[in-house]
Amino acid sequence: MPHNRKRKSAVKITLQDVAREIGVSAITVSRALREPDKVSDDLRNHILGVVNRMGYVPDPHARALASGTSTFIGVLLPSLSHPAISAVLNGIEARIRGTDYRIQYSNSHYDPEEEVRQLRAFAAHNPAGVILAGTERLENLETMANEAGCPVVQTIDCSLKMNGLAVGINHRLAAAAATRHLLAQGYRRIAMLGCGHDIRVRLRQSGYCEVMQQAGLFDEGLIVWQDAPPSIHLGSRLIRRLIEQRPDVDGVLCHSDDLALGVIFESQRLGIRVPDDFGICGFNDLDYATSTEPSLTTVRVPRFDIGYKAADMVITLGQGGIVQQRTTDVGFELMERGTTRRMKKAASA
């Protein structure tokens, strides 16, 4: 006699119920669902029909407990407030749609301690895999990743020699390309605006420094960094400060489009002509980059693809597949737009 257990309102239909209804054993139904080949065609079709009719849904917890694996994918982000980061989640989500995988989401708020704690929490859930979209302390994570007992994919930078799986771009090269573009457009006193602790900032800065040094134009004073999340407001503040200290600055590479947009607004307020007297390059190619006035030159990073491919790795490995490339470079693209489209370039230095 079925009786409501716990606080479940709807009566729960179990594998047993379905099996009894059909007159087979539970394991056969289970197999029909998971290993179709191992059940004869007729029986399988019959079973699938009854499963549907009865509205049976497997209990993921029982499954996880019995099999030692689950269909959870842990996703650890450093923030959600940033569109560039949520785009990765969108990609993950796109890959997962239509499968039984589910996203278990967690936010480290750029806190290394929290990152490790969350990764540990994930591990306790026997996840199918974990995707990391940002991290402060790679060393610890590598150790933990090895102990996690499941694939761990980092999506920070594809050049990072982590002993694991990675999908991303090479941020150093991307920043270098952006800096070269600014130089090619005739800007000389090019600043770099950065923020946050993310490894990416460091990598991009090194790309910028490299190119500026090669050009003989490096000036440490042109590097502005603040420990804060990226925001439009921060961009305005940082550029104002910089212009006070280095009035001759004539271009800027920003760590993110948000900062760049802040710079655009501040330029409007200060009456600085963009791109004629001042060049601006962002990073990420967010939605609004084509809509700003002038439109924003920036580095397109295929965030969505990154998420998609990271999830794909997890799923492939989970199904016993083999991932040929443990490290995938999805590439970046420099989007040359209005904020650096200067007609009369300065005479070459």
Partner DNA sequence: CTGTTAGCGCTTTCAT
Partner DNA sequence: ATGAAAGCGCTAACAG
User: Is residue 65 at the binding interface for DNA, with CB under 7 A as the rule?
Assistant: yes
Rounded to a whole number of angstroms, the CA Rg of the chain reads 26
The one of its own copies, DNA, none whose footprint includes residue 24, by CB under 5 to 8 A per kind, is DNA
Pairwise CA distance, residues 251 & 277, whole Å: 8
Q: Which lies closer to DNA via its Cβ, residue 33 or residue 217? A: 33
The one of DNA, its own copies, none whose footprint includes residue 33, by CB under 5 to 8 A per kind, is DNA
**Min dist. Cβ of residue 5 to DNA (A):** 6
**Min dist. Cβ of residue 75 to its own copies (A):** 8
User: Is residue 125 at the binding interface for DNA, with CB under 7 A as the rule?
Assistant: no
User: Is residue 344 at the binding interface for its own copies, with CB under 8 A as the rule?
Assistant: no
Q: Which lies closer to its own copies via its Cβ, residue 27 or residue 270? A: 270
Count of residues in contact with DNA, rule CB under 7 A: 29
User: Is residue 214 at the binding interface for DNA, with CB under 7 A as the rule?
Assistant: no
By CB under 8 A, the residues from 106 to 145 that bind its own copies are 106-107, 120-121, 123-126
User: Is residue 269 at the binding interface for its own copies, with CB under 8 A as the rule?
Assistant: yes
**Min dist. Cβ of residue 157 to DNA (A):** 35
User: Is residue 60 at the binding interface for its own copies, with CB under 8 A as the rule?
Assistant: yes
Backbone angles phi, psi at 281, to 5 degrees: -130, 130
Residue ranges that bind its own copies, judged by CB under 8 A = 5-10, 57-62, 64-65, 67-70, 72, 75, 80-81, 83, 86-87, 89-90, 93, 102-107, 120-121, 123-126, 146-150, 231-233, 236, 261-262, 265, 268-269, 287-288, 290-293
Residue ranges that bind DNA, judged by CB under 7 A = 5, 12, 14-16, 24-28, 30-31, 33-34, 37-40, 43-44, 56, 58-59, 62-63, 65-68
